[in-house]
Amino acid sequence: MKSLKRFAGSSLFLPVVSLLVLLLFNACFVDGFLSLQVTEDGRLYGRLIDILTRSSSLIILALGMTFVIATSGIDISVGAVVAISAAVVCMLIGGRGDGVAETPMALAMLASVCVGILCGAWNGLLVAKFKIQAVVATLILMTAGRGVAQLLTEGQIITVYYKPFAYISGVLPGMPLPTNLFIALLMVLLVVFLMKRTSIGLFVQSVGINPTAARFAGINVTLVLFLVYAFSGFCAGVSGLIESSLIRAADANNAGLNMEMDAILAVALGGTLLSGGKFYVGGSVIGAVTIQTLTTTMYALGVSADQLPVVKAIAVVVICLIQSKKAQDMFDRFKARRAKKHAGGKAVDAL
Amino acid sequence: MKRYLNRLIASPYFSFFVTVLLFLALYGVGMAMYKGFMRPQVFFNLFIDNAALIIVTVGITFTLIIAGIDLSVGAVLALVCMVLAWLLENTGMPLPVAVGLVLFMGTAFGAVQGFIITKFDLQPFIITLAGMFFCRGLTAVISRDTIIITNPTWVAIASYRIDLGIGFLSVGAIVALLTIVVSAALLGFTRFGRTLFAIGGSESSAALMGLPVFRSKVLVYTVAGFCSSLGGLAYSLTMLTGYNLHGLGMEMDAIASSVIGGTLLTGGVGFIPGALVGVLIQGVILTFISFQGTLSAWWTKIVVGALLCVFIIMQAFITEQKGKLSSESSMEGNEAAGPPEKP
């Protein structure tokens, strides 16, 4: 009972419970939702695996976004950066019909991740050096970014016929699970390593709580902010690889569309306050899986992709209200007043 | 001379002067390069083509003055276009009622956003970002296809041209100009306007002065919602359709225009005529691209993004240097600039 109560108070409570509710809902209404099968060549197959695979790019984005939000910033350009990174990798490999890569794939992948870091560094420069509000600084790239991606692909959708490119989001021969799941796992491990072995997490947190105090404590606030946005760009670059490999094409208009909202939602659901400070990497990861489950559930219910934002927007507002200190105060006062009334009534009864 | 220059840079209207000069320079280059630029109608077309953006920019300027932001404007505009088209085509609702209804809808949406932001002390960008996604999604819920407006009165209004002798204006452009005049008067000459600048300067000081902070903040987002829906009507007059992707990225164009026109993103400073010139600059760039003929429309976004960057960086620079620049002419300037950055 005590541990249950502690769990209810922890940051993981909200994402885990909403994930469980969604899974329960799916298990009841979708046939064969929980069944897992193993195909002949040793691959795991099932709806749960599907959700996990699909959420890998969102998990990666949410990791970067967690740090950004922890410094009380925001990065709404991630969707556009995903599009740019997808455009770069597809452009470099090239859409040749005979399935030959124009640039070695490793080089193309490296280039697209580097472009992602470059975009993030640009955001970081604006926010950290020029002290522009994070929303506006990243809004520039959010709108201009798709234009850049469009210019790179010359307004076309580049389709890649080079076979190994599909492996990034596909299954390598002999592996039980798709590669992108391993990439996401690797990224999570990298972040966990940074958290456990270095003091970067502490730096980020202190910058988020009070940048002035952090500076007086000897932290290079400008550098921390810059690195945080660069890391978010790196994550978006990796996501762009996965997203483009998933459809084996670069679509400048639709790659990573609305993903910034999903990433913010995942982080908020994971218990990180949007006003910055304490952050929870584990919560963000579970939050990302929850969001993907929500998306899949909505698709199963027949909601189309362009209508889905309605549901997510409502979810964001509700989570913000739950997190809001003022709303909590109001709720507490309301409860106190009711308890008082109740007690008063009892006293009258006793008389 | 140097002192005079310093005072000029420190003046709140410096951005505005730069913007007007930039506009004149761009227009001059256009006139030198293309003969067609000389025609007065090209200038009037700037107003006709950007009527919706002008109105939306006015709304966003209000939110920027109180150091808030409204990212939902483009989506509200699309929703208004869609609802109007849907009402006119699928129900027998008379035009004035439909127009009134969509105006009310946008205004109410702005008010709800403002209430949530102010009452629960939430960041404006996250709530209005959610509002943006909400309205875009709702537009898709109503219809995923383009709805074409065939209502004869609306079409007649859309094609009506007001003759000015040397050129003509559309109804939307007239509405935009009226919005500019009314909002400039509202900000410059009323108690409400002064309250907004006070809140933008320092919210807690404004509250301690006994100004109605809560009411004013909610009102600002209501005004922004109203402007977005009015802009939606103007947009509907140029497009005559309702479509899910109308006004995509317009929030960025509007913020850019406002900032280029001298609104400080940190709040407290804003100038409506400047915002108008900001929109006109974007219009000139667009005209350039259409006169040039081979550049893709995506260049507008990139150029506007770059322009926004330049102006924001200029603002950051001015804000930082303001204390130093005006310290020669007055001692108060130094204190107003806040504590020095490095100990």
User: To which H or E segment does residue B168 belong?
Assistant: strand B168-170
A32 within a domain of the structure (yes/no):
no
Say yes or no: A199 and A335 in one domain. no
Closest by CA to A280, choosing from A67, A94, A76, is A67
How many A×B Cβ pairs under 8 Å?
Answer: 124
Residue type, B185: A
Average pLDDT over residues A76-88: 93
The string of DSSP codes covering B208-247 is HTT--HHHHHHHHHHHHHHHHHHHHHHHHHHH-EE-TTTT
Between B221 and A28, the more confident residue is B221
A186 within a domain of the structure (yes/no):
yes
Structural domain range at position A73: 41-307
CA-to-CA distance for A143 and A247, rounded, in angstroms? 23
Q: Which chain B residues are within 8 Å of A76, Cβ to Cβ?
A: 129
A11 within a domain of the structure (yes/no):
no
Q: B342: pLDDT confidence band, cut at 50, 70 and 90? A: very low
Q: Do A317 and B120 touch (CB under 8 A)?
A: no
3-class secondary-structure state, position B22: helix
Residue B327 has what pLDDT? 54
| pLDDT tens digits, one per residue of B118-129 | 999 888 888 998
CA distance B122 to chain A (A): 7
Domain containing residue A212: CATH number: 1.10.3470
Residues of B with CB under 8 A from a CB of A: 69, 71, 116, 119-123, 125-127, 129-134, 136-138, 140-141, 144, 244, 249, 251-252, 255, 259, 265-266, 296, 298-299, 301-302, 304-306, 308-309, 312-313, 316, 343
Say yes or no: A270 and A320 in one domain. no
CA-to-CA distance for B71 and A142, rounded, in angstroms? 12
A223 reaches B (C-beta below 8 A): no
Q: Which chain A residues are within 8 Å of B116, Cβ to Cβ?
A: 317, 321
Q: How far is CA B305 from CA A75, B158, B279, B282, in A?
A: 16, 31, 13, 11
Between B272 and B324, the more confident residue is B272
A168 DSSP assignment: G
Q: Do A140 and B144 touch (CB under 8 A)?
A: no
| pLDDT tens digits, one per residue of B75-116 | 999 999 999 999 999 888 899 999 999 999 999 999 999 999
Say yes or no: A211 and A177 in one domain. yes
Average pLDDT over residues A255-275: 86
CA-to-CA distance for A87 and A249, rounded, in angstroms? 8
Say yes or no: A241 and A345 in one domain. no
Between B74 and A29, the more confident residue is B74
Closest by CA to A231, choosing from A204, A209, A250, is A204
A340 reaches B (C-beta below 8 A): no
- The answer to whether residues A113 and A237 touch, using CB atoms and an 8 Å cutoff, is yes
Check pLDDT > 60 for residue A117: yes
How many separate domains does chain A show? 2
Q: Which domains does chain B have, with CATH numbers?
A: 36-318 (1.10.3470)
- Number of C-beta neighbours around residue B157 at 10 A: 17
- Which among B61, B76, B117, B133 is the top mutation candidate for probing chain A, defined by the most A β-carbons within 10 Å of its own β-carbon? B133
Q: A185: pLDDT confidence band, cut at 50, 70 and 90? A: very high
Q: Which chain B residues are within 8 Å of A130, Cβ to Cβ?
A: 312-313, 316
Say yes or no: A95 and A118 in one domain. yes
CA-to-CA distance for A174 and A125, rounded, in angstroms? 44
Q: Do B129 and A76 touch (CB under 8 A)?
A: yes
ipTM score assigned to the predicted complex: 0.80
Q: Do B129 and A274 touch (CB under 8 A)?
A: no
A151 vs B126, B127, B298: nearest CB: B298
Closest by CA to A87, choosing from A180, A166, A164, A156, is A156
Say yes or no: A275 and A338 in one domain. no
Say yes or no: A223 and A90 in one domain. yes
Say yes or no: A104 and A119 in one domain. yes
Q: Which chain A residues are within 8 Å of B245, Cβ to Cβ?
A: none
3-class secondary-structure state, position B148: strand
Q: Which chain B residues are within 8 Å of A152, Cβ to Cβ?
A: none
CA-to-CA distance for B32 and B23, rounded, in angstroms? 14
Q: Which chain A residues are within 8 Å of B119, Cβ to Cβ?
A: 326
A133 within a domain of the structure (yes/no):
yes
Average pLDDT over residues A85-92: 91
Say yes or no: A140 and A269 in one domain. yes
Alpha-carbon dihedral A135, A141, A142, A144, rounded to 10 degrees: 140
Q: Which residue has the tokens 């009972």?
A: A1
- Which among B309, B310, B321, B342 is the top mutation candidate for probing chain A, defined by the most A β-carbons within 10 Å of its own β-carbon? B309
A220 within a domain of the structure (yes/no):
yes
Q: Which chain B residues are within 8 Å of A136, Cβ to Cβ?
A: 69, 255, 259, 265, 312
3-class secondary-structure state, position A4: helix
Q: Do B120 and A326 touch (CB under 8 A)?
A: yes
Say yes or no: A52 and A136 in one domain. yes
Say yes or no: A339 and A289 in one domain. no
CA-to-CA distance for A264 and B342, rounded, in angstroms? 33
A109 within a domain of the structure (yes/no):
yes
| pLDDT tens digits, one per residue of A96-114 | 777 778 888 889 999 999 9
Check pLDDT > 60 for residue B157: yes
Say yes or no: A203 and A313 in one domain. no
| pLDDT tens digits, one per residue of B12-56 | 677 788 889 989 998 999 888 888 888 889 899 999 999 999 999
A191 within a domain of the structure (yes/no):
yes
User: To which H or E segment does residue A45 belong?
Assistant: strand A44-46
Residue B331 has what pLDDT? 43
Average pLDDT over residues A147-175: 83
Check pLDDT > 90 for residue B3: no
A270 within a domain of the structure (yes/no):
yes
